[in-house]
């Protein structure tokens, strides 16, 4: 994709903050026609700059109020051993975010579960299905100070 211009950056800022805005509403805020907004959004999606549009759901209000930050260590980082784990993490609905990181852990996970028993079952299943996992450390999120996936596009 070509370099983002000022209008693309403004458009990305607006849709990140509220993906429910219509092309007409975006048009009024940016100063382009709704059809021009539509074309730009399609190009941003086709280029991969926009990966998807999501609703931010409050987990506590839908019965999944516990959030766990998990540091995961693997035995070996050979591709044939880590690819099944990465696929498992991508496919597991309770895994909200997963990152390959530097430091004492190999992966950092954010996991949502209704309670500690459900979390324990999930982690037991993960260990059984992924023998390359050496260990994990868990932090229970006591309070969300900020949630979101906003990416500055200055």
- Tens of pLDDT, residue by residue over 67-105, are 999 999 999 999 999 999 999 999 999 999 999 999 999
Q: Which of 141, 146, 66, 134 is closest to 104 using CA atoms? A: 134
Write down the number of H helices and E strands in the chain: 5, 4
pLDDT of residue 1: 56
* 64 found inside a domain: yes
Q: Which residues pair with 139 in a beta bridge?
A: 69
Across 145-150, average pLDDT: 86
Phi, psi dihedrals of residue 102, rounded to the nearest 5°: -95, 170
Residue 10: partners with Cβ closer than 8 Å, 6 or more residues away: 29, 30
Residue 43: partners with Cβ closer than 8 Å, 6 or more residues away: 1
Q: Average pLDDT over the chain, rounded to whole?
A: 93
CATH number at residue 40: 1.10.10.10
Q: How many CB atoms lie within 10 A of CB 13?
A: 16
Which CA distances in Å does 144 have to 21, 42, 67, 89, 114? 25, 33, 9, 22, 16
* 82 found inside a domain: yes
**Helices 6-17 & 23-30, crossing angle to 10 degrees?**
130
Residue 54 pLDDT > 90: no
For residue 15, the enclosing domain spans 6-47
- Tens of pLDDT, residue by residue over 118-146, are 999 999 999 999 999 999 999 999 988 98
Number of domains present in the structure of the chain: 2
Residues 39, 93 within the same domain: no
pLDDT of residue 25: 97
Residues 37, 84 within the same domain: no
Q: Which residue has the higher pLDDT, 27 or 148?
A: 27
Phi, psi dihedrals of residue 50, rounded to the nearest 5°: -105, 115
* pTM, entire model: 0.80
Q: How far apart are CA 136 and CA 74, in angstroms?
A: 9
Q: How far apart are CA 106 and CA 81, in angstroms?
A: 13
* 68 found inside a domain: yes
């Amino acid at each position: 994709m070509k370099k983002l211009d000022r209008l693309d950056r403004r458009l990305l800022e607006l849709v990140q903050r509220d993906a429910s805005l219509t092309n007409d509403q975006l048009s009024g805020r940016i100063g382009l026609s709704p059809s021009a907004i539509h074309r730009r959004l399609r190009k941003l999606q086709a280029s991969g700059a926009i990966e998807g549009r999501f609703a931010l759901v409050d987990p506590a209000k839908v019965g999944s109020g516990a959030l766990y930050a998990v540091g995961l260590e693997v035995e070996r980082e050979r591709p044939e051993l880590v690819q099944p784990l990465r696929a498992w993490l991508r496919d597991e609905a309770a895994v909200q975010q997963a990152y390959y990181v530097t430091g004492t852990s190999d992966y950092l996970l954010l996991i949502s579960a209704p309670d500690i028993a459900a979390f324990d079952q999930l982690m037991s299943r993960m260990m059984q299905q992924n023998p390359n996992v050496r260990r994990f450390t868990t932090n229970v999120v006591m309070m969300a100070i900020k949630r979101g996936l906003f990416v500055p596009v200055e």
